[in-house]
Structure 1
Amino acid sequence: MKKVIISLFITISGLLFSQIAVGTSPENNNRWTFGGGIGVGFGSNSAFYLQASPRVGYKIINDLEGGILGSVSWQTSDFYRSTMFGVGPFVNYYFARSFYVSANYQHYFINYKDKYYDFKMNKNEDALYLGGGYMQRIGNNSFMQIGLMYNVLWKENSSIFSSGLIPNIGFVVGL
């Protein structure tokens, strides 16, 4: 079931991105924005990581955007398996058409299984990310965003995450 959900999430994100990128132009007065990111990682002990984070936004005013962001990630190795779903609102403020500041709240649903110790855990965790970054134009109204966020709710001994600092790379169409 998890593989079906992840595959569906990635397919829908790709279709949305490709449909919007082809049909938009600078003259388009549509206030909706679409985007997100996809990540893949490999490591020792047969580690594999897959992540997708689609987003839908609405331009409230020219330089202010709000919307909803989702994320799903799947990790596996010889020793553990983890699935994480997250959803929440975001707001971005753009300035000088090349930079942005951002805030987003995510509520995560985490399922973790340690294969070595036969330990299972289901946990919920909240995150409030604050940060910003740089935007590079890659098309008419399409941008690549490169930024750095910090989870101000992160606590070292009680969080599933190893750090509160999160680098991010994503794409946005419709700005």
Structure 2
Amino acid sequence: MKINSLKIAVSVMTFFIFQISFSQEVKQKSEFWKKVQFGGGLGLGFGNNATNISIAPSAIYNFNTKAALGLSVQYSYIKQKGFYTSNLYGGSIIGLVNPIQEIQLSAELEQLRVNTSFDNSSLNSNDFWNTALFLGAGYRTNNATIGVRYNVLHNDNNNIYTTAFMPFVRVFF
């Protein structure tokens, strides 16, 4: 009888200790984290001897329903077989304004390091910083926005983007 009673007592105590321990792990989110949303981009492209892989996680802080500010990091690997390999990495800061619920305006300053090595030995490697300032507008529904942005610093002779206009899809959770 003593052994069974002891087993029951230990089992009950263990149960209560686990209950107390696990209940301590459940915490309320702070006010700061309630206003943070995460999102980003993932790109995979494969074609005629070409590969393009990109990842760009991001986060924004919503000051209120009208304005947000965020950060993003980016890495891209691009290879054209027999021609070149390029690695791009950097980050950006983005400001979002929603004058009305369905419209989102954005300004994004992006700084990317571009490292390109050519397979043809007669061409030199190309390493430089690329700065872009995108101004954009889009249609917003819930957490998703689709629109277009324009790089006001675009230069046809020295830029990683082929055009100043770029469509975008932005999703934050």
Q: Assess same fold via TM > 0.5.
A: yes
Q: Distance in 1 between matches of 2:108 and 2:70?
A: 9
Which runs of at least 4 in structure 1 moved beyond 3 Å after TM superposition? none
Partner of 2:59: 56
Instruction: Select which of 135, 140, 161 maps to 1:135.
Output: 140
Q: Distance in 2 between matches of 1:71 and 1:164?
A: 19
2:125 partner SS: strand
Residue 124 (structure 1) shift: 0.5
Residue 144 (structure 1) shift: 2.5
The root-mean-square deviation of aligned C-alpha atoms, in Å, is: 1.7
Q: Distance in 1 between matches of 2:95 and 2:162?
A: 25
User: Whose Rg is larger?
Assistant: 2
Q: Distance in 2 between matches of 1:51 and 1:167?
A: 16
1:62 partner SS: coil
Q: Distance in 2 between matches of 1:108 and 1:95?
A: 30
Q: Distance in 2 between matches of 1:157 and 1:37?
A: 27
Residue 135 (structure 1) shift: 2.4
Number of equivalences: 139
State the TM-score, normalizing by the size of structure 1: 0.73
Instruction: Select which of 120, 138, 147 maps to 2:125.
Output: 120
Residue 85 (structure 1) shift: 0.9
State the TM-score, normalizing by the size of structure 2: 0.74
| Identity across the alignment (%) | 25
Matched, 1:85 2:82: no
Q: Distance in 2 between matches of 1:123 and 1:81?
A: 14
1:146 partner SS: strand
AA in 1 matched with 2:136:
G
Contact residue 104 and residue 129 of structure 1 kept, 8 A: yes
